[in-house]
Structure 1
Amino acid sequence: MSVALFKVGQTWHYRFQVDGKRVQRSTRETDRQRATKVAEHAHRRAKLWARGSKAIPTVRELVSQWIAIHEASASAAHVKVVETFGRLHLHGLGDVLIDELTTERIEEARVKHLETHAPVSANQWLKVLRLLCNWAVRRGVIPAAPFHVRVLKVQKKPRAILPVNLVQEWLVAVDARAGDRDGVRMAVRLMLGLGLRESEAITARWEWLDVERWTYTPGLTKGREADPLPVPDWLRDYLMPRRKPHGYMLQKHDGSSYAAGFTRSTLLAANQAVGAPHITAHRLRGTFATLLSRSGVPPQDIQRVLRHKNLATTAAYLEVDMQTVVRGQARIAESIGFGLRDQPSVAPVANSDAQPQQ
C-alpha cells in the first residue's frame, strides 16, 4: 500500500504523497483495519482531485447535492424524504464514496434499518438510495450503480377505505369536529370527491375551477402534470355558495395557509365518532380510487385522474372487494351452465349509490 500508517497514542494516522504534495491526517480510529479503510479512502480521493477528475462524493455529500439541485423543483414531500434519509438513516454509509457502495455494505446497512423499522420502510429506504445513485449515474459521476440489492417481500395488508354507507354520517362528524376551521371541511370534500392529495388541497385555487364545464385542474401537483377533473354534483353544490373569484380555496381566518397534516386530528376524531376504519387524508385518496374501480372505471382512467406515471402505483391504491368477486363467480357459473344457487355472503356491501351530503 502506498499509504503509511502509524500510531500517535492510541489513534492511527496516515501519510502519503500525491504529485509531490504530502498529506498527513488522523484516521480517528484505534482499530487498524478500520484505519486502513479510512486511509485508502483518503488516498483515492486525493488522486482523483489531483487528476482533475470529477470528484466522487460520499453518500452524505450526494444527499446534499441532490437537495441543492431539486429543492426548487421537486415537491416538498419528496425533498423531505431525501433529507430525512440523509439526516437519520445513513446507517454507517454517510462517509462511503458512492462507487464503493457494495451489495454487502447495503445489505448490512439495511439490517441496521430493520432493527427499528418495518420491512416496508426498508424498501422505501432502498428506493431512496437507488434514486440518489441513479441520479449520480445520469450526471456522469459514476458509470452505474455499484450494487444489486433486491427489495424485501412484504405481505400486503388491506388498507382502510371509507364505507359508502358511513360517508354522510362521517362528513357530519367531520363538520362537527372541525370547529371554526372551514378549510378542513372543504379539504376533506376535495380529497374525497376529486382524489386530491392533502398538499394539492392546501394549494387549491378558485381560478382552477371551471364552472362552465364543471371541471377542476390542479395547478400544483406532485408530478407537475394534471388533466381537468370532473366535479361531481354533490361537490358542486357544496362549492358554489362558497365560491370566490380568485385566491386559495383553503385559508385560515388570518389569510395564511394550512400546514401539512392539518386534517389529521379531525379525521381521527370523526372515525371514532361513527366507527369508521382508520381514515387519513391519503386513505381518502385511496377511497376515491377504489370506489371509481368498483363503479367500473378502467384502471388506465383512474391512473390518469390520480396523476400516476406508473399503472402499478395506481393498482396499489385499489382495494379488493370480495363481494364483487362473488358476483363475478356467479355469472361465470351461470354462463358455464351450472345454474344459479344461493351465493355465500362474504360481507354486506353498502349501497354504492349513497351520495355524500354537504
Structure 2
Amino acid sequence: MQRLLPSCDTSTRSGCRDFAVLTMLVRLGLRAGEVAKLQLEHIDWRAGEIVIAHSKGNRTERLPLPADVGEAIAAYLRHGRPASTQGRTVFVRITAPHHALTTGAVTQIVRHAGERCGFEPIHAHRLRHTAATLMLRGGASLPEIGQLLRHRNAITTSIYAKVDRDALRSIARPWPGDVA
C-alpha cells in the first residue's frame, strides 16, 4: 500500500478517483462490486458511517468511515467526479458517458496501479487480504477483522489473515500441555 496509493496522480480526475477507490478497498476491505455499487446516499457523513447495501448475501451492513477514507472520497467528489454525471453512483467513468464503474473496472484500477508500481498482476480481492493483514499487524483480533470483512465464519477470516504467519503465532495461545 505504501507504493500503490502514491502511484495515483491525485491532480487528475482519474487519479483522484483511483486513489479513493484504492483507499476504500484497502482500509475497509470492501469487495470490488461493493465499491462499484456505492451510492451517494450510502455515505452518512454526520454519523461517520458507510452503508454497504449490496454486500454478499444481499445483506446491508454499516461500517465506520475512517477519516482518511472520507477525505479521499470527498476529494474525489469535489475534484474528480464529472459534474455532468447522471445518477447517484459515487464512482463513475471519467470519459463520457459517465456511467457507474463496473466490478471489472474497479479491478482494472487495482491492476493498473500495480503495474505502475512494477508488481505482478493483482486484483481487487487481493486488497481484502491486505486489509486483513494490516489489521492483524496493527493488533486487531481475528473476530475484529472478521467483523470488518463481514465474515460469518472465523475460519474464513483466518484464511484472509494467514499470510502473516509470524503475527498469527504472536496471538496464538499455547497448546495445553505443550512445553514452552
TM-score normalised by length of structure 2: 0.73
Does structure 1 conserve the Cα–Cα contact (< 8 Å) formed by 2:8 and 2:16? no
Aligned to 1:302: 145
Is 1:259 equivalent to 2:93 in the alignment? no
- Tell me how far 1:222 sits from its aligned partner: 1.2
Structure exhibiting the larger radius of gyration computed from Cα positions: 1
Output aligned runs, 1:282-297, within 5 Å. Answer: 282-297=125-140
Is 1:241 equivalent to 2:75 in the alignment? yes
* C-alpha distance 322-285 of structure 1, shift in aligned 2 (>3 A): closer
Output aligned runs, 1:151-170, within 5 Å. Answer: 167-170=1-4
Which deviations, in whole Å up to 9, do the C-alpha atoms of 1:185-219 show, x marking residues without a partner? Answer: 43222211211100000100121111122111111
Which deviations, in whole Å up to 9, do the C-alpha atoms of 1:210-267 show, x marking residues without a partner? Answer: 11221111111112224321122221222223448x8211112423122232134443
Output aligned runs, 1:88-99, within 5 Å. Answer: none
* C-alpha distance 211-194 of structure 1, shift in aligned 2 (>3 A): same
* C-alpha distance 215-293 of structure 1, shift in aligned 2 (>3 A): same
SS of equivalent to 1:247: coil
1:295 partner letter? G
Aligned to 1:219: 53
Does structure 2 conserve the Cα–Cα contact (< 8 Å) formed by 1:170 and 1:270? yes
Does structure 1 conserve the Cα–Cα contact (< 8 Å) formed by 2:129 and 2:161? yes
Write the distance in 2 (CA, Å) between the matches of 1:184 and 1:239. 10
1:211 partner letter? W
Identity of aligned residues (%): 25
Does structure 2 conserve the Cα–Cα contact (< 8 Å) formed by 1:193 and 1:288? yes
- Tell me how far 1:325 sits from its aligned partner: 6.4
> Whose RCO is larger (CA < 8 A, sep 6+)?
2
When the two chains are superposed, the root-mean-square deviation of aligned CA atoms in Å is 3.1
Does structure 2 conserve the Cα–Cα contact (< 8 Å) formed by 1:174 and 1:266? no
Output aligned runs, 1:8-157, within 5 Å. Answer: none
- Tell me how far 1:281 sits from its aligned partner: 0.1
* C-alpha distance 296-180 of structure 1, shift in aligned 2 (>3 A): closer
SS of equivalent to 2:103: coil
1:217 partner letter? V
Aligned residues: 162
1:247 partner letter? R
Aligned to 1:115: none
Write the distance in 2 (CA, Å) between the matches of 1:212 and 1:189. 20
Write the distance in 2 (CA, Å) between the matches of 1:224 and 1:254. 29
Write the distance in 1 (CA, Å) between the matches of 2:140 and 2:168. 16
Write the distance in 1 (CA, Å) between the matches of 2:74 and 2:16. 15
Does structure 2 conserve the Cα–Cα contact (< 8 Å) formed by 1:225 and 1:307? no
Write the distance in 2 (CA, Å) between the matches of 1:267 and 1:237. 19
- Tell me how far 1:276 sits from its aligned partner: 4.1
* C-alpha distance 242-173 of structure 1, shift in aligned 2 (>3 A): closer
- Tell me how far 1:275 sits from its aligned partner: 4.1
Which deviations, in whole Å up to 9, do the C-alpha atoms of 1:262-306 show, x marking residues without a partner? Answer: 134443343243344653200111111121122222222222221
The runs of 5 or more residues in structure 1 that have no matched partner are 1-166, 333-337, 339-358
> Of the candidates 150, 162, 165, which is equivalent to residue 319 of structure 1?
162
Write the distance in 1 (CA, Å) between the matches of 2:62 and 2:135. 16
Write the distance in 1 (CA, Å) between the matches of 2:109 and 2:77. 23
2:36 partner letter? I
